[in-house]
Amino acid sequence: MQDNHYLVPGLQALDKDLEYSILVNDHDDAEDGFVDAKERLLDVNNWSRYGNLPEFTFQLRDAHGKGLARHARRRDLIAIGAAVHGSTPWQVIDAIEYDDYPDLDMETFAIRLHECNEPAAGNMPSNSLIVWRRGKRLSATCHVRHGHEVEGDMLVQELSPDQWNSLLKGLVR
């Protein structure tokens, strides 16, 4: 198995747009690995464990801020806690998207998020966490849309590139 981690070309300015990939030996293993990666991406409450990030907590919440013990769904919230911060920023799940491209032997699964300071607050530019498979390559990507100069987007600003890489690696391991 070969792993790669690098900045996504064309999006390097923010130093947070990362991708982590592995190349597996067997096509069936790649398909099974993709299914597992989708499950881990939806299992928000365990992102800290998958990414070996004990200093962060990721908690799936409903619109009223109540904790949820299930996989993520559209309009759910993600509360992000960090040992160094007293407040808990919120991310809203705008969309959960699956795409299959059989002619390219590729499939993708993405969660699109945006920042809000409170569960009922307004919109900000969005981020996407994506797991994908093309042939025998499995990848996880954090795609940050431009406009994240706004202070307080913890998902983008507080995790270092090494922490992002750890989370992405944990999704496709």
Arithmetic mean of pLDDT, 140-153: 64
Residue 121 pLDDT > 70, yes or no? no
Burial class (CB in 10 A: 0-12, 13-18, 19+), 101: exposed
What confidence tens digit (pLDDT) does each residue in 32-63 have? 999 999 999 999 999 999 999 998 899 999 98
Q: What is the predicted pLDDT for the residue at 8?
A: 39
Q: What is the mean pLDDT of the chain?
A: 82
Residue 122 pLDDT > 80, yes or no? no
pTM score: 0.82
- How confident is residue 4, by pLDDT bands cut at 50, 70 and 90? very low
Q: What is the predicted pLDDT for the residue at 66?
A: 95
What confidence tens digit (pLDDT) does each residue in 126-139 have? 789 999 999 999 99
Residue 150 pLDDT > 70, yes or no? no
Position with higher pLDDT, 157 vs 72? 72
- Of the listed ranges 22-26, 62-66, 147-151, the one predicted with least confidence: 147-151
Q: Give the count of beta carbons closer than 10 Å to the beta carbon of residue 28.
A: 9
Where exactly are the structural domains of the chain?
A: 2-172
CATH topology of domain 2-172: Alpha-D-Glucose-1,6-Bisphosphate; Chain A, domain 4 (3.30.530)
b/e code 151-170 from CB counts within 10 Å (16+ = b)? eebbbbbbbeeebbbbbbbb
Q: What is the predicted pLDDT for the residue at 155?
A: 57
